[in-house]
Amino acid sequence: MTDPLRPHGNNRTPLPPTQQSADGVPSPRSPQSEKTKAQGDARAASSGAKQRDAFFDNAKYLAIVLVAIGHAWEPIKGDSRILEAVYTVVYTFHMPAFIIISGFFSRSFDASPNRLKRLITGVAVPYVIFETAYPLFKRWIDEDPGQDISLLDPWYLTWFLCALFIWRMTTPIWKMVRWPLPIALGLAMAATVTPEIGDDLDLQRVLQFLPYFVLGLIMKAEHFHMVRTRTMRIVAVPVGAVALAFGWWAVPRMNTAWFYHRDAAQELHAPWWTGPVMVLAMFGCSLLLTACFFAWVPRRHMWFTALGAGTLYGYLLHGFVVKAGDYQGWFDHAWLQRPLGEIFVTVVAAVGVTLLCTPPVQRIFRFAMEPRMEWAFKRDAAQVAREREKREGAGAREKVNA
């Protein structure tokens, strides 16, 4: 296999233009229509614009596979110290990596009408749909008619959509302030000593994961190139080994809930001062392991590269499968908690989320993930004026030709 980080020698693959992911969602491309996409491709070809960088699609796909595997491990890890150690290491970087990429592709957000529409249709509407669908699913599959439906208390996976919407809406502020990352870290540290925040909109996670999004906002293309080197790829091996060893050591000594970023220190029965300390410590560890992850992400086009455009589908849909297995007792078989069973669950989770990212699944569920909803918005006055001028110009040319 060729070197995935240098498939063309020392010539770096150009990074994609910011505007191609204007809605900030690190998964679907959110096309307006096939015609619009074709017109955009034609304009890009005619102007010599840079094309999509396979690295980011590869990174999104691999990150979402790790997310699904981690969720599948939860019911079977039990007392397995080794699996718990791998689980905590994966949880240290898989969502930070996903969120950093989200921030990087959110740099062009300017609260313009078109981008606000895409934020609503690509994030807010799917949040409402899936925040309703998951409790209804639990009522049915788990025979729990008392399961509440609440848009204020994100359930299971939907916290990310809620967080992404808030982060995106505050993007102009982070682009305006002088020290965005220190401020974001300060807010995350303050959140860990404020249990009064509660569960509304999962604000603990919103604030504790905020530094990763802000970091993505302020990152530049060369920062990703810095970790995509042969040296970094070599260094990532011993770093990963040390992380696994430390994770194995920390299993009986550390509360895994720290990695979920959803509770204040007091809620984890820890001294208040450990909250800010853990924010800084885990931020450093997460960045280190995320850099190692990015170092090993292939930069050339792979068989799974196209699936990077459908990672939000895989993210939101795989939860139904995992929860169904949990409610129906699929994970209760003793053999699944042995090494071969754990490997089997890992493979099934990876294959399952891969299938959920494929184009056929995207076509089926696009109504929920990327609804058009043109009927819900007023037409932009400037766009209407441009179309009128275009029609008038075309009419004038026809008269002249006649």
Q: What is the pLDDT of residues 96-153, one digit of tens each?
A: 999 999 999 998 888 888 889 999 999 999 999 999 999 999 999 888 888 888 888 8
What pLDDT, on a 0 to 100 scale, did the predictor assign at position 123?
A: 93
Work out the average pLDDT over 330-336.
88
Nearest one of 308, 302, 285 to 358, comparing CA atoms: 308
Q: pLDDT exceeding 90 applies to what percent of the chain?
A: 60
Q: Is the pLDDT of residue 27 over 60?
A: no
Distance from C-alpha of 166 to C-alpha of 216, rounded to nearest angstrom: 15
Distance from C-alpha of 23 to C-alpha of 168, rounded to nearest angstrom: 8
What pLDDT, on a 0 to 100 scale, did the predictor assign at position 347?
A: 96
User: What's 106-167 look like in SS3?
Assistant: CCCCCCCHHHHHHHHHHHHHHHHHHHHHHHHHHHHHCCCCCCCCCCCCCCHHHHHHHHHHHH
Buried/exposed code over 100-123 (b: 16+ C-beta within 10 A; e: otherwise): bbbbbbbbbbeeeeebbbbbbbbb
Are 289 and 99 in contact by the 8 Å Cβ rule? The answer is no
For residue 29, the one-letter residue type is R
Q: Quick one: DSSP state of residue 332?
A: G
Nearest one of 167, 168, 158, 169 to 125, comparing CA atoms: 158
What pLDDT, on a 0 to 100 scale, did the predictor assign at position 41?
A: 42
What pLDDT, on a 0 to 100 scale, did the predictor assign at position 400?
A: 67
What predicted TM-score, i.e. pTM, was given to this entire model?
0.82
**Can you give the length of the chain in residues?**
402
User: What average pLDDT does the chain have?
Assistant: 84
